[in-house]
Amino acid sequence: MGAQNGKDLLVKVDMTADGQFETIAGLRATRISFNAESVDVTSLESQGGWRELLAGAGVRSANISGSGIFRDAGTDERARQLFFDGLTPAFQVIIPDFGIVEGPFQVTALEYAGSHNGEATYELSLASAGALVFTAI
């Protein structure tokens, strides 16, 4: 697998809860991170005093963040609605030549900014709100 174009890392939202996903408009930068908490089960009997972790335990989560140009498109309106209503619809993240991550996310932060001689921008943060499914490409 060769180098990938960053613009191909897409964040999509289910616009009407019918499985029709649209790319969030105006994004210039996106990031997804996966996290897993470990559960330490080390005891006096642990071999050589080495830490032991309980397999399959702990909380797993994912976070998505993005920033871009505010376009006042339908997806901008949807993100704003999701934040104020506290909803957790399905999102998709397309990771080029890797796969698709899909599942419920909550909009945890939505920021707008602008300067006198520049474009209006926004930043978006999402937190996983349930089980995620990964589909390899």
* Sequential pLDDT tens for the chain (137 residues): 678 778 889 999 999 989 999 999 889 999 999 999 999 999 999 999 999 999 999 999 999 999 999 887 888 899 999 999 999 999 999 999 999 999 999 999 999 999 999 999 999 999 999 999 999 98
Entry pTM: 0.87
Residue 1 placed within a domain: no
Residue 50 placed within a domain: yes
Could you tell me which of 9, 13, 25, 10 has the C-alpha nearest to residue 88?
Answer: 13
Residue 24 placed within a domain: yes
Q: What is the CATH number of the domain that holds 78?
A: 2.30.110
Q: How far apart are the first and last CA of the chain?
A: 12
Number of domains the chain is built from: 1
Could you tell me which of 80, 85, 79, 87 has the C-alpha nearest to residue 106?
Answer: 87
Residue 91 placed within a domain: yes
Q: What domain range is 124 assigned to?
A: 7-136
